[in-house]
Amino acid sequence: MATRLSIDGADAVLRPPEDGLPHLRHDRAAHLTLEPGSVACADGTIVALDVDDGAALRFDASGCTVVPGLVDCHTHLPFAGWRAREYEMKVTGVPYEEIARSGGGIAASARALAEATDEAVLTQSRDLAGEMLRWGTTTFETKSGYGLSRDGELRALRLADALRERVPQPQVASTALLAHAVPAGETAASWMDAVADLVPEVAAHTPAEALDLYVESIAFDNDALARMGELARAHGLALRAHVEQFACHRSVPVALEAGARSVDHLACLHPDDVAPLAAAECAAVLLPGAEHLGAEAVAPGRALADAGAICVLASDANPGTSPIVSLPLIVGLAVRRYGWTAREAFLAVTLNAAWVLGRSAVVGSIEVGKRADLVVLDVPLDHVAYRFGHHPVLAVVAGGELAWVREDARARVRGA
């Protein structure tokens, strides 16, 4: 591929109000700019916000919108198999908690992972990552959590590391979700003891950058959250937490005290916890795909945005509660469910999502010096949510290369 690429003459380029921001609180989302422009890339980096007349490869972006490469900071790749039967049970009235307690849910995915070969897991996850790229995702997170044993969790982290070499995305983050469900034969307390013994090995010998856990009546409690925070701090890892999905456990104050980088789900967030979360250096990661498909409560996205939280959206891509890999679809759900603007929704899948993964100095916004991850849309920004379900991505630039071009856009490429 050519080392110089020019994206020429876009009707609008989505840019931050100033360069160098680690994140942008949502009460400032309206300050994102959408102005006509071009983007020049060389050797994988954005080198100018202008046409590069000497570029060997050019893309005609007239009539298009250019946005940063999308960042999916909460997925459960790699996993094995699907759980379509559970979805049918849920839509016909069986609560998720009942499905989980009867051997479905996370336990079902753990069995599928244990029974699948490494090659089968990596092939399925590679194909899903390719689909994510075609929807504009250029950076994403992986999680363990379906291992449900010491060796199983280490295998999941090893598979996540191997997946990096098979996907088109230039960067893949790794999270150790070591307390996802209570393994058979364990109690929550005994498994947290096992997790404490496992974390030093995870920190020293895997690419995991964060620890994660699930606080819920069918999983772990706030004491486990506080303990996971101590483990993360002791081993130099970020702390993330699945909280307030099906019921309010007042986990957010505990997570903030523990120094969490993000709290994810928040469908049942207590009103008194909105202001403290909004004031903190902790992201509110909302997962409208899981809310919609699980008929969950609606997270207070509008209240969090108005309060100035670091708001983030993610797919929660997993075989059970959110088998979705399209961030444009997630944007559409968020705009409708939370009453967000298009700028608010795109901020939540670009710069702020990159900050959750500790990568906002490198990706997440269109700035000179950042990695050249770009998405060319065939519609104005606000049409992505408005034309719900439309595939808006014409082309994806990943690491300065045209990683994918939609068939009807190939005539826009010059020099290939």
> What would the pLDDT profile of 110-120 be if each residue is shown by its tens digit?
999 999 999 99
Segment 193-220 mean pLDDT: 97
Return the percent helix, strand and coil in the chain, to nearest 5: 40, 25, 40
Tokens at residue 227, please? 């303990």
- Is it true that domain 71-356 has CATH number 3.20.20.140? yes
pLDDT at position 416 is 64
Tokens at residue 27, please? 């009460």
Phi, psi for residue 142 in degrees, rounded to 5: -110, 160
SS3 state of residue 291: helix
Q: What is the gyration radius of the CA atoms in the chain, in angstroms? A: 21
Q: How far is residue 375's CA from residue 403's CA, in Å, rounded to a whole number? A: 10
Closest among 351, 397, 309 to 19, alpha carbons compared? 351
Segment 384-404 mean pLDDT: 97
Alpha helices in 117-212 (DSSP H): 118-134, 150-164, 188-205
Segment 198-223 mean pLDDT: 97
Q: How far is residue 178's CA from residue 137's CA, in Å, rounded to a whole number? A: 25
Closest among 107, 58, 65 to 366, alpha carbons compared? 65
CATH for 4-68+364-414 (1.10.580.10, 2.40.10.10, 1.10.3720.10, 2.30.40.10): 2.30.40.10
**118-153 pLDDT, tens digit each:** 999 999 999 999 999 999 999 999 999 999 999 999
Segment 366-384 mean pLDDT: 98
**156-199 pLDDT, tens digit each:** 999 999 999 999 999 999 999 999 999 999 999 999 999 999 99
Segment 212-224 mean pLDDT: 97
Q: Is the pLDDT of residue 100 over 90?
A: no
| CB-CB contact of 180 with 106 (8 Å) | yes
**346-358 pLDDT, tens digit each:** 999 999 999 999 9
pLDDT at position 96 is 85
* pTM for this entry: 0.97
Q: How far is residue 389's CA from residue 46's CA, in Å, rounded to a whole number? A: 30
Q: Is the pLDDT of residue 1 over 50?
A: no
For residue 5, the Cα-to-chain-centroid distance in whole angstroms is 27
> Can you give the residue ranges of every domain in the chain?
4-68+364-414, 71-356
Q: How high does pLDDT run on average in the chain?
A: 97
pLDDT at position 144 is 98
**65-85 pLDDT, tens digit each:** 999 999 999 999 999 999 999
Which of 1-5, 52-56, 253-257, 319-323 bottoms out in mean pLDDT, i.e. has the lowest?
Answer: 1-5
Hey, do 4-68+364-414 and 71-356 end up sharing a CATH topology, with the first three levels equal? no
2 band by pLDDT with thresholds 50, 70 and 90: low
| CB-CB contact of 38 with 278 (8 Å) | no
Which of 46-55, 84-93, 207-216, 223-232 bottoms out in mean pLDDT, i.e. has the lowest?
Answer: 84-93
pLDDT at position 103 is 86
| N residues, the chain | 416
